[in-house]
A = this chain, B = another copy of it.
Amino acid sequence: MAVKIHNNNFKHVGRIIHFHRKKAGLSRIDLAMVAGVGKTVIYDIEHGKETVRINTLLKILNALNITMLLDGPIMENFTESEDAKS
């Protein structure tokens, strides 16, 4: 049951990260250390900041074992195409 993210409900991302961080028993500083980012950006995201950089967000999600996925009607066409090859 993955969670859809779009610009309207972006606050969910902050809630998801907060939820996972607490479940893992980590302070913001702990998570910042593990993820390799500053603590401020975790504060910002948990407070719903939408203008975070994607690589920063991915580091945090990765540290919390959360996966980001992209999907859509013609994604199959892409994965089968040559473009998808590394």
Chain A contact residues (Cβ within 8 angstroms of B): what range?
Answer: 35 or more
Q: Main SS of chain A's interface residues?
A: mixed
Closest approach, in angstroms, between the C-beta of A30 and any C-beta of chain B?
Answer: 18
Contact of A3 among B64, B79, B86 (CB under 8 A): B79
A70–B75 CB distance below 8 A = no
Closest approach, in angstroms, between the C-beta of A25 and any C-beta of chain B?
Answer: 13
A5–B72 CB distance below 8 A = no
B residues in contact with A79, CB < 8 Å: 1, 3
Which residues of A approach B to under 8 Å, CB–CB? 1-7, 9-10, 12-13, 15-16, 18-20, 23, 50-55, 57-59, 61-62, 64-79, 81, 83-84, 86
